[in-house]
Amino acid sequence: MTYVDLSLHATSIGLDETLEVHIEVHNPSVRAVEEVAQLYLHQRYGRAARPVRELKAFQRVTLEAGETRTLHFQIEAVARRYWSSTQGIYVLDESIFDVWVGGASTASLHAEFVVQDSTGSFLSPTNKP
């Protein structure tokens, strides 16, 4: 399978907003192929260290020989939150997020987006006052 044209509907979203992700998958072979397209996220900054890549969504598709299909994923706020053992609650941080889509956790097709509060004032660790 070939993955191309990874696109995000926005490069910046609010804490509670959903990000739409689109990717084209092409089957260059001469027979039908079943594939599991996988979407991984990484949160660069936050109150706790996050895994390098977390599987957040996947879609199983069957593509006929030579077929190309556009897949759509949604990254909702609930997919970006995590359990804080120090606070005892689920938290949702402002951050820059990396997104990868492909057929495995080693996918190289990459994009990034920013999650910020409603004031639009995102402060990463490198630009805090």
3 state SS for the chain = CEEEEEEECCCEEECCCCEEEEEEEECCCCCCEEEEEEEEEEECCCCCCCCCCEEEEEEEEEECCCCEEEEEEEECHHHHCEEECCCCEEECCCEEEEEEEECCCCCCCEEEEEEECCCCCCCCCCCCC
pLDDT at position 49: 86
**pLDDT tens for each residue of 5-27:** 999 999 999 999 999 999 999 99
Residue ranges and CATH numbers for the domains of the chain are 2-116 (2.60.40.10)
Question: Which has more confidence, 49 or 8?
Answer: 8
pLDDT at position 121: 54
